[in-house]
């Protein structure tokens, strides 16, 4: 039988490289989790302002904050 | 790995997955049909590319008793038309029917393998360019006037290789065979390390991580 010396998925990246990739993936997932927390917090704040009709100025500030946050996120994705 | 995908020549993910399936099918058929253990197979081998941003890749490299076969595996559906001299073939199952000719693409792979191992090979040995389309749902219409190894039937290709290899006595000794394998793998790892170095440097800087050598 023909001997397969190297399989398709074998020996295509070093252990060091895999470790670095894993670290980077962890960092990315942590930063995503942080962003999700901020979004949740802002959404809750917005909901509170809207339903309890507190200060209108606070409402506008919250909207602007969320808007700028999304713009920033979008710009980061593009670059 | 995401970053390898960016740096290799394969950019379309769905094509990539189909291609991988074709390579696995080919590997299984090869093991089934080539019963002689003097056949050695290296799959997915990196070679330098014409564009320094990318890595070239040989789908399957078969070292026989007399010759070396550099095999490019495709899994293209539909009607495939072209000529050996064409830089692009027409695949009538796609929005953009023009695809780089695998024969032409593989010619470069053959050249790179020749550069690496020709000094080890006996004079009579050849490094052959072989193309196989593993897709059954395809009409293969390639004008092959030079009778190159271009097939859409894997059994035909492997039978022909068997015939060529068994026609006369073996000329590639097991020692030479080992040397060829070592040389090709050594180049594969050198290129892998170079590419990892590039990727690491860029990614580590982006994520404020310390540089780790690929060694």
In angstroms, the CA A46 to CA A66 distance is: 9
- Domain range annotation of chain B: 2-206
Domain membership of residue A66 (yes or no) is: yes
Burial-class residue B61 by CB neighbours within 10 Å (0-12, 13-18, 19+).
buried
The reply to whether residue B37 touches residue A3, judged by beta carbons under 8 angstroms, is yes
DSSP-assigned beta bridge partners for residue B72:
B131
In angstroms, the CA B81 to CA B142 distance is: 5
* Residue A23: count of CB within 10 angstroms of its CB: 15
Torsion of CA B77, B83, B85, B90, to 10 degrees: -40
Q: Is B160 on the interface with A (CB under 8 A)?
A: no
Q: B45-50 contacts: CB < 8 A, separation 24 or more? A: B45/A6, B45/B184, B45/B185, B45/B188, B46/A12, B46/B187, B46/B188, B46/B191, B46/B192, B46/B195, B47/B109, B47/B112, B47/B113, B47/B187, B47/B188, B47/B191, B48/B112, B48/B191, B49/B9, B50/B108
Q: Is B10 on the interface with A (CB under 8 A)?
A: no
In angstroms, the CA B184 to CA B116 distance is: 7
Min Cα separation B77/chain A (Å): 22
DSSP B40-106: EEEEEEEEE-SSTTSEEEEEEEEE-SS-EEEEEEE---EEEEEETT-SEEEETTSSS-EEE-HHHHH
In angstroms, the CA B66 to CA B169 distance is: 8
Q: Domain span at residue A73?
A: 55-79
- Confidence band (pLDDT; 50, 70, 90) for A76? low
Domain membership of residue A60 (yes or no) is: yes
Q: Tell me: the pLDDT tens digits for A23-73?
A: 777 777 888 888 888 888 888 877 777 777 666 677 777 777 877 777 777
Domain membership of residue A37 (yes or no) is: no
Domain membership of residue A13 (yes or no) is: no
Domain membership of residue A38 (yes or no) is: no
Angle, helices B102-117 vs B174-206, to 10°: value is: 110
Q: Tell me: the pLDDT tens digits for B101-148?
A: 999 989 999 999 999 999 999 999 999 999 999 988 888 888 887 788
Which of the residue ranges B20-24, B175-179, B183-187 would you say has the lowest mean pLDDT?
Answer: B20-24
Tell me which residue in A6, A9, A17 faces B200 most closely, judged by beta carbons: A17
In angstroms, the CA B22 to CA B137 distance is: 13
Q: How many domains, in total, are found in chain A? A: 1
* Residue B103: count of CB within 10 angstroms of its CB: 24
Q: Is A78 on the interface with B (CB under 8 A)?
A: no
Average pLDDT, chain B: 83
- Find, among B45, B47, B46, B40, the residue nearest to B62 by Cα: B40
Domain membership of residue A19 (yes or no) is: no
- Confidence band (pLDDT; 50, 70, 90) for B6? very low
Q: What is the largest CA-CA distance in chain B?
A: 60
């Amino acid at each position: 039988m023909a001997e397969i010396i190297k399989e398709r998925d074998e020996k295509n990246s070093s252990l060091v490289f895999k470790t670095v990739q894993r670290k980077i993936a962890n960092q990315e997932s942590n930063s995503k989790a942080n962003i999700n927390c901020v979004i949740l917090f802002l959404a809750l704040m917005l909901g509170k302002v809207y339903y309890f009709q507190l200060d209108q100025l606070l409402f506008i500030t919250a909207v602007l904050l969320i808007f700028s946050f999304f713009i920033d996120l979008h710009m980061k994705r593009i670059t | 790995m995401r970053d390898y995908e960016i740096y290799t020549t394969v950019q379309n993910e769905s094509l990539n997955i189909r291609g991988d399936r074709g390579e696995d099918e080919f590997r299984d058929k090869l093991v089934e049909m080539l019963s002689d253990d003097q056949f050695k197979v290296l799959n997915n081998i990196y070679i330098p590319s014409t564009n320094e941003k990318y890595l070239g890749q040989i789908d399957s490299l078969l070292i026989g008793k007399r010759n070396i076969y550099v095999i490019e595996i495709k899994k293209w559906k539909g009607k495939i038309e072209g000529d050996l001299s064409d830089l692009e073939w027409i695949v009538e199952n796609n929005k953009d029917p023009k695809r780089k000719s695998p024969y032409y693409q593989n010619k470069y792979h053959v050249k790179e393998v020749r550069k690496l191992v020709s000094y080890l090979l006996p004079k009579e040995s050849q490094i052959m360019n072989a193309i196989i389309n593993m897709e059954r749902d395809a009409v293969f219409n390639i004008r092959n006037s030079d009778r190159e190894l271009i097939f859409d039937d894997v059994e035909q290709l492997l039978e022909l290789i068997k015939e060529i290899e068994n026609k006369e006595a073996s000329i590639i000794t097991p020692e030479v065979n080992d040397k060829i394998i070592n040389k090709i793998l050594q180049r594969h790892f050198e290129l892998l390390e170079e590419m990892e170095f590039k990727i690491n440097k860029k990614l580590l800087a982006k994520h404020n991580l310390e540089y780790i050598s690929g060694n």
